[in-house]
């Protein structure tokens, strides 16, 4: 199990500062979502080599997966993202799904998503990169987002049938949407490429809410998972102190 920080953990600081903090805290990667906002990808690649850690995940140049009219634009964004990932050494690409369309049957939208992902799969297989679909909660943060439940998300992934199209399981979102966090986070382990963590309510650092992250992370570790767990959260105290507390109070009991 490896831990990553997410861009924004240190507000106002750039990607290089975040990478240096990743190294300082003994973490293994940085999630930087809007790769297209980086002015010089090759310069960042050089900084990664110098520091000794790099970007572990980024996002698609997002366009709806459930709207067939936007399929070609989505695929073009995928091609551009893959080329950026090759320069940066990124092995995971996160995609949201877009909001549910009015007046289009849900099963039609789901099948549109499956067909688009089937078109994406060979591109990711060839590049040896994983495309991760992310369900988001519609109650608090993302009203109307098409995929919200982990079981439906896994159903989509199974229909696509590619080892390079998987799920990012966000514990915060799934706690709000469906609960049963340990059961789902471990039961769908073979379809999950990496995890996001934050506490609920508030979406702040683990240890500030109702989720027992010692038990959750221990259960995930016991499945044999060796990938990334990303701290996609806000911080109620100084970021460095919050990370030290997370390592001392939670990680030390898990690893």
pLDDT of residue 62: 84
Distance, in Å, from the CA atom of 140 to the CA atom of 151, rounded to the nearest integer, reads 20
Encode pLDDT of 191-224 as tens digits.
999 999 999 999 999 999 999 999 999 999 999 9
- Residues above pLDDT 70, as percent of the chain: 100
Distance, in Å, from the CA atom of 98 to the CA atom of 64, rounded to the nearest integer, reads 5
Both tokens assigned to 151: 């079981």
Instruction: Answer whether 205's CB lies under 8 Å from 231's CB.
Output: yes
Residue 65 pLDDT > 90: yes
Distance, in Å, from the CA atom of 91 to the CA atom of 254, rounded to the nearest integer, reads 25
CA distances from 193 to 6, 15, 190 (A): 16, 23, 8
pLDDT of residue 109: 98
Question: Could you list the residue range(s) of the whole structural domain that residue 136 is in?
Answer: 2-254
- Say which residue the tokens 């080329």 belong to: 83
Among 55, 35, 33, residue whose Cα is nearest residue 46: 55
Provide the CATH number for the domain around residue 12.
3.20.20.150
Q: 55 pLDDT band (50/70/90 cuts)?
A: very high
- How many domains does the structure of the chain reveal? 1
Full-model pTM:
0.96
The mean predicted confidence, pLDDT, of the chain is: 97
Encode pLDDT of 31-40 as tens digits.
999 999 999 9
pLDDT of residue 170: 98
Encode pLDDT of 124-163 as tens digits.
999 999 999 999 999 999 999 999 999 999 999 999 999 9
């Amino acid at each position: 199990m490896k831990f990553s920080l997410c861009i924004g953990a240190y507000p106002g600081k750039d990607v290089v500062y975040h990478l240096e903090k990743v190294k300082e805290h003994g973490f293994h990667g940085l999630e930087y979502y809007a790769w297209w906002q980086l002015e010089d990808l090759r310069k960042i690649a050089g900084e990664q080599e110098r520091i000794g850690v790099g970007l572990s995940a980024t996002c698609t140049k997002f366009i709806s997966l459930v709207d067939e009219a936007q399929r070609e634009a989505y695929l073009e964004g995928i091609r551009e993202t893959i080329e950026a990932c090759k320069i940066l050494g990124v092995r995971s690409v996160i995609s949201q799904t877009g909001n549910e369309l009015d007046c289009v049957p849900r099963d039609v939208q789901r099948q549109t998503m499956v067909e688009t992902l089937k078109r994406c799969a060979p591109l990711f297989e060839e590049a040896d990169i994983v495309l991760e679909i992310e369900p988001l909660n519609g109650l608090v943060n993302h009203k109307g987002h098409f995929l919200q439940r982990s079981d439906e998300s896994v159903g989509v992934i199974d229909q696509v049938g590619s080892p390079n199209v998987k799920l990012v399981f966000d514990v915060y979102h799934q706690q709000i949407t469906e609960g049963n966090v340990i059961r789902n986070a471990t039961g769908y382990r073979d379809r999950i490429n990496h995890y996001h963590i934050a506490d609920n309510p508030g979406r702040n650092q683990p240890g500030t809410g109702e989720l027992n992250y010692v038990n959750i992370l221990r259960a995930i570790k016991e499945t044999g998972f060796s990938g990334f767990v990303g701290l996609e959260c806000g911080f109620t105290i100084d970021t460095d102190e919050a990370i030290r507390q997370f390592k001392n109070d939670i990680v030390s009991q898990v690893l």
